[in-house]
Amino acid sequence: MKLEPLYLNAYRKKILDERIEKAWSLLESCTICPRKCRVNRLKGEKGFCRGGLLPEVSSYAPHFGEEKPLVGRSGSGTIFFTHCNLGCLFCQNYEISHLGQGRAVSFERLAQMMVELQSLGCLNINFVTPTHFVPQILKALALAIEKGLEIPLVYNTSGYDSVETLKLLDGIIDIYMPDFKFASSEVAQSLAQAPDYPEVAKEALREMHRQVGDLIIDEKGRARRGLLVRHLVLPARLAGTTEVMRFIAEEISKDTYVNIMDQYRPCGEVRPGSILDRYITNEEYEEAVSSALACGLHRLDERRIWRLIW
């Protein structure tokens, strides 16, 4: 199966140029994400995400801990962007998302990072926490294409994305990999200051699936295009896993590739003795997987098997 990355066609037809211009206009009174801070990032003003004009990167490297269809033999080419527009208090990458670990880079340098990862044999370019830097990514992408970039793009996001911004990525992003973190508005407010998260994430997933459909995996087991949804199981059912799985099965697709993740650990701003101050149990994880299967979801990331065996 040979699927050309979508962005190459967008580049040839000058669609990418149009999207860059539209995305850039959103920075003057920033409405890139659902928080709509309306700060002028073109003049260096910063809102909730603390992102400015230039892209900020914490690290970039081949990553072998992603889902198997994304890794191949040489890894997924991850580029970790600094800051975050959601800001979960238990974030596993707290130093990056909350403490701002990273530095500003030029558009040329960001483009070169993409090309370097491709030269290392990475299966894709995996933009981690990209939401607040979409215009900057598009601008750098055009430069990377001119340098020979030709592998799929992965949009690895918290799920707190506006449909308006996602539409700018239609025909450009090959693989969407959103989290669906919380089913409850109250929990989303308590843990991420985002009471609208459940509805925003639902609309975002609908738009992503409209653009790319279910995940396509080629004969070599490599993801080429489509939607892959992640869900982190939280202690005491705080994530609302059953409701999340039901939504995916009933309103997205029963063929959705889903990674039910078991790696929650207390970190970040989790208070000692609070409900989040523990790892999840085997029983909680088994319940999460069972809820997905009961809804008819059948493309679960294979790593779940090891958790259930052990």
The model's pLDDT over 93-139, given as tens digits with 9 standing for 90+, comes to 999 999 999 999 999 999 999 999 999 999 999 999 999 999 999 99
Q: Can you give the pLDDT at residue 1?
A: 61
C-beta separation of 248 from 297 below 8 A: yes
**pLDDT tier for residue 302 given thresholds of 50, 70 and 90:** confident
End-to-end CA gap in the chain: 36
pLDDT > 50? residue 306: no
Residue 46 lies in a domain: no
Q: Can you give the pLDDT at residue 2?
A: 76
pLDDT > 60? residue 186: yes
Report the alpha-carbon distance of residue 45 to residue 222 in Å, rounded.
41
* Closest C-alpha among 175, 248, 261, 252 to residue 218: 175
pTM: 0.96
Percent of the chain with pLDDT over 70: 97
Length of the chain: 310
C-beta separation of 61 from 101 below 8 A: no
> How many other β-carbons are positioned within 10 Å of the β-carbon of residue 22?
15
Q: What is the mean pLDDT of residues 237-263?
A: 98
pLDDT tens digits for range 148-171: 999 999 999 999 999 999 999 999
Instruction: Give the contacts of 146 (CB within 8 A, at least 6 positions apart).
Output: none
What domain count does the chain have?
A: 1
Domain that holds residue 201: 6-41+56-309
Report the alpha-carbon distance of residue 95 to residue 52 in Å, rounded.
18
Instruction: Give the contacts of 154 (CB within 8 A, at least 6 positions apart).
Output: 70, 76, 124, 125, 126, 127, 173, 174, 175, 176, 177
| More confident site: 306 or 163 | 163
- Reading the block at residue 99, the tokens are 């403490």
Report the alpha-carbon distance of residue 293 to residue 304 in Å, rounded.
12
Residue 62 lies in a domain: yes
Q: How far is CA 229 from CA 71, 105, 215, 217, 252, in A?
A: 16, 29, 10, 15, 10
Report the alpha-carbon distance of residue 126 to residue 153 in Å, rounded.
6
- Reading the block at residue 177, the tokens are 């990999």
* Closest C-alpha among 213, 125, 131, 194 to residue 168: 131
CATH number reported for the structural domain that contains residue 136 in this entry: 3.20.20.70
Residue 155 lies in a domain: yes
In 47-152, the DSSP E strands lie at 56-63, 76-81, 103-104, 125-128
